[in-house]
Amino acid sequence: MASDAGLQPIARSPLYEQVVERLREFIDTQRLQPGDRLMSERELAERLGVSRTSVRQALTALRVMGFVEIRHGDGVYLLRAPGDVIPNLASEIVGSEVDHPMIWEVREGIEVQAARLAARRRSDADVAAMREALDLMETAIAGGDDGILEDRRFHHAIVAAAGNPLLRQLTDQLADLIDRTSEASLTHVGRPPISLKRHRAILAAIERQDEAAAAEQMRRHVTTSAERGA
């Protein structure tokens, strides 16, 4: 059975939904794989500091979502890989309005860190890929297009340059949400040229390997887009 390290008690009496989130975090941090058995219902209740009823409700919710299998008399087994947890969380807000603040908050966290790491680790080939994406975006905008595909290509190049497989996986899993906000931004009148200018500033910081500047330029880009209702 997996170690209980990383599973922290809940300080106050929670709703079962909070127990679900803690269990999701535990599954992820412990890198549990399909087929692994979780600790017993009693042990989970003790570790989390909640009633067995709350744990039972949480496990039932995870079973309904397809994450675990409850084998009566045997235990609770994980059915889906840890990486599948994140898309499920994203799907909970995918039907919400495109510019939901949660989406922009997540984008800021992911993309600012990606820009910082890209500035630290980028290769000449990475810089060339980013520059090509922006040149294509400039051409598209000049031709009356909004540059959505080229914008996406630029951001993907940054994530690739960051050299962090987990960050890349997370970005891929949230691609639908990220793409929807980008599309909303770039379809606003006058927005594409502004976005291109911001992108050029981000690229310049990454090219000179200025981590702080790259992160700050990306932060400004994301927050400005959010403030504009983009």
Does CATH number 3.90.1150.10 belong to domain 16-81?
Answer: no
Residue 187's CB: how many other CB atoms inside 10 A? 12
Q: What's the pLDDT band for 20 if we cut at 50, 70, 90?
A: confident
- The predicted-structure confidence for 159-171, as pLDDT tens digits, reads as follows 999 999 989 988 8
CB neighbours of 110 closer than 8 A, spacing ≥ 6? 167, 170, 171, 174
Question: Highest mean pLDDT: which of 55-59, 99-103, 218-222?
Answer: 218-222
- Please list the residue range(s) of the chain that carry CATH number 1.20.120.530: 93-227
Q: What is the tally of helices (H) and strands (E) in the chain?
A: 11, 2
CATH 1.10.10.10 segments of the chain: 16-81
Q: Which residue would you say has higher pLDDT here, 96 or 226?
A: 226
Architecture of domain 93-227: Up-down Bundle (1.20)
Q: What is the mean pLDDT of residues 31-44?
A: 86
The sign of the dihedral angle between the CA atoms of 6, 7, 13, 19 is positive
pLDDT digits (tens, 9 = 90+) for 178-209: 877 787 777 777 889 999 999 999 999 999 99
**Is residue 44 a contact partner of residue 82, using CB atoms and an 8 Å limit?**
no
Q: Of all residues in the chain, what percent carry a pLDDT higher than 90? A: 35
pTM exceeds 0.85 for this model: no
